[in-house]
Amino acid sequence: MEFRKRRIIDAHVHYPHYSCGVTLMPMLAEAGVNQLAVVSTPDEKRLSLLPDALHLKGLYPHKIFVFGNLDISPLFMAPEIAGQTFANYVDDLMEMGVDGVKMIEGKPAIRKRLPIPDFDDPLFAPYWEKMADTQTPLIFHVNDPEEFWDPEKIPAWAREMGWHYGDGTFVDNEDQYRQVLNVLDRHPILNVTFAHFFFLSAQLERLGEYLDRYPNMRVDLTPGIEMYSNFSKDPEKVRDFFIKYQDRIIYGTDIGARALMTDCMPSIQVEESLARIEVVRAFLEVDGPFTLTHEGFLFGGSKAVFQGIHLPDAVLDKIYFKNFWKFVGGRPKLLNFDAIVDECQRLELMINAIARLEPELGGDTSSVTMAKAFFTG
């Protein structure tokens, strides 16, 4: 599908390895994306994908915003002071020139693997206080599509990924909403964007209530393909919602998320990425039914029919970039090379220490070595 040229910031891109830039950047340029936010996540072998994200920002300082993941090591080493350590780490991230924080910790499969206390536990309090006081932008992944908890309704591909959460060993989605809303009640000004429409695309009244209650809360449009099937059921009602909350919705695609899940050498798949752009843009811009011309692994192929809501240009501009500017600011922060090198050194020590303690994880320091070389350069 051909789209009109517009200013676009993709607020949600994963960058699983420093070698992916050669595919990612030309593809996004070709697709007309002006700037992007790389959201980084913890990693088992490399501990953190932050060095990769910073390296990309080093190469394209005016194009890339970085949302740094939290350092999860306190959860294992000093859980009783983890919240304070997270709060201090926010300062470290800002010092490096990171633009915001990304939390993947509310994804049930991740939460199961890490000893994460409830988000409204007093242990987390210093961290939330810091985030609210400093108005640090946060992109927060909380829950997953609600059908993943239901053995009757979960799609086959999700079950294959190990995302069936109904066996009692995963966090309950309503319990997690409760925890996060408690945090927002304590800090109603938290500068937060919930990824994937907060997984409430089938419950718009409920999402509207939260948006009314918390003035700094936003949601992103990152698929979650269930969102676009849900949106297609009642396009008129959905269009009204988008008009009403036009200041609170941010464009994003999750490009790179697929590569993040592979065990072998990650690479960004162009066709799958273009399908992500296509489904979101066509939904916002097309008037009436559409099918995808690109093939994506969770998009149901060319047979799936979606409904576009054809928003006015002024609303599209807000969703494509103005709301992101309000959330984060107009330009990426300057990088502090010395602070980044310090952090790389710290990560290197930690990776080697974990590799000695748990050799089966096979610690991998390649990313920090690369980033260190670039920023010492």
- In what helix (H) or strand (E) does residue 212 lie, and over which residues does it extend? helix 204-213
Q: Hey, what amino acid is at 219? A: V
C-beta nearest to Zn ion: residue? 254
Q: Judged by CB under 5 A, how many residues of this single chain contact Zn ion?
A: 2
- Min dist CB 16 to Zn ion, Å, is 11
- Min dist CB 13 to Zn ion, Å, is 8
- Please identify, among the stretches 85-93, 168-176, 184-192, 252-260, the one whose residues bind Zn ion according to the rule CB under 5 A: 252-260
Query: Binding of Zn ion at residue 43 (CB under 5 A)?
Result: no
Answer whether 328's CB lies under 8 Å from 99's CB. Answer: yes
- Please identify, among the stretches 253-261, 296-304, 321-329, 347-355, the one whose residues bind Zn ion according to the rule CB under 5 A: 253-261
Task: Give 74 or 296: the residue with its C-beta nearer to Zn ion.
Answer: 296
DSSP 99-128: -EEEEEEESHHHHHHTTPPPTTSGGGHHHH
DSSP 171-229: --HHHHHHHHHHHHHH-TT--EEEGGGGG-TT-HHHHHHHHHH-TTEEEE----HHHHH
Task: Give 99 or 254: the residue with its C-beta nearer to Zn ion.
Answer: 254
Task: Give 33 or 354: the residue with its C-beta nearer to Zn ion.
Answer: 33
- Min dist CB 339 to Zn ion, Å, is 26
- Min dist CB 298 to Zn ion, Å, is 13
Task: Give 67 or 375: the residue with its C-beta nearer to Zn ion.
Answer: 67
- For Zn ion, the binding residues in 63-102 under the rule CB under 5 A are none
Task: Give 226 or 348: the residue with its C-beta nearer to Zn ion.
Answer: 226
- How remote is the C-alpha of 81 from its chain's centroid? 26
Query: How far apart are the C-alpha atoms of 301 and 277, rounded to whole Å?
Result: 15
* Pairing mode of beta strands 64-69, 35-39: parallel
- Min dist CB 222 to Zn ion, Å, is 6
Give the 3-state secondary structure of residue 48: strand
Q: Which residue has the tokens 């991998």?
A: 364
Of 10, 99, 120, 254, the one binding Zn ion by CB under 5 A:
254
Residues making contact with Zn ion (CB under 5 A): 254, 257
